[in-house]
Chains A and B, each alone.
Chain A
Amino acid sequence: MDVFLQTLVAGVLKGGLYALIGIGMTLIMGVMGIINLAHGQLMMVAMYITYVLHLAGVDPYISLFVAMPGLFLIGCLIQHYLLNPLLKVETILPENQVLMTVGIGMVLTEVVRFIFKSDYKSVSTGYSNATFFLGDISFSVALVISFFIAIAFTVAMFFFLIKTDIGRSIRATAQDKDAAVLMGVNTGRITIVTFGLGSALVAAAGSLLAPVFYVFPDIGGPFTARAFIITILGGLGSTVGAIFGGVTLGLAESFGATYISMDYENIIGMTIFVLVLLFLPGGFKRLTKV
């Protein structure tokens, strides 16, 4: 029973972080209809910001408030100067914005490698290794905190989209771009804000992950893949779906590792991905309708 509960806890806590990584991608996907394949790399940049601030003695939870605006800005610049211009160019490939994000991801990785070298860096804090026990079940303090911050951000995001003007404009653009333009929404600006927001959210995930993981230029790729799976799981453009998607993936990986083998961690994620595409093409969004 302990093994089962510990696995459950590990899966849910990891899932919270995954949700935060996935939600930015799902937002961008919903509004622009493109998969941002530089998502994990943007998170990696945020982790390096956290690392640099850590060297200066700043706690990762404080550097959250530097990394998020920083990545918001980077995201806006990418959308404005690199992705939006591509809309005006006629090409044989309809998805050239997606290809562009692949390139951006590579450039980010290599620029960071150029500055910081291929060295493993750690952001070790007092609570990196701290735990508390409920019965025999161990909880990592850092992961519990990051889980609640992730939930808070997701809920905030949800209300932002439902209640505010910009949020409504974002949803309008996501639902029907042409109609949104006719209703007076500046969709060009909305795409820029959306990419910025998506980047800021993944930056939050990066700052939260840094103390429990490590920092390295190449860690972006696997997280881009996970964010992609979560986006498909949750349903494109659904914030609530992203939470379900993240937790589902976290649980699947954990239970797979405990009851099958950790060797198959990636296979399990991909299997769910294929199953959802086959049997629930709209993701969890089809079930929850949000």
Chain B
Amino acid sequence: MNANEIYDRIKNRFPDGVLEFKADAVVDPFVVVRPELIRDIAAFVSSDPDLKFDFLMSLSGMDFNDGNLGVVYHLSSIENRHRIVLKAKLPKADAQIPSVESVWKSANWHEREAFDLFGIVFQGHPDLRRILLPDDWEGHPLRKDYKAQEYYRGMKVPY
């Protein structure tokens, strides 16, 4: 299946869940979906026999630098050999999105990473802790407006 067909299939199932589809994007086409529905969409695309996206390759946080954070899901199907990119935009002030950990276990650590580096809160995640940075680190470094803290436990941070 190519990106257009995948988009149609998701659109048919979630008419108001899909916000945007960019088929001519450089280089990978992507689908922007409503963040509230992401878990339902995830459950659908992973179980639908034609789509069968059983492999969550990557889950990345994003800072769109327009007041929005985002989560990008790169999905692939081992059985059907196709892939798609899903995106969800969240307001920076209240960055919350349902967790897809129940659908793909690989999301567990990737969501923790996005939480750690972007401060995106994944609702329903079983164990949302910082993963790469120390537990008592302040701020979320990959946000574009991030300022490193002056001192971390007495050690000077910016060098």
Partners in one complex: no
Chain B residues near A (Cβ < 8 Å): none
Chain A residues near B (Cβ < 8 Å): none
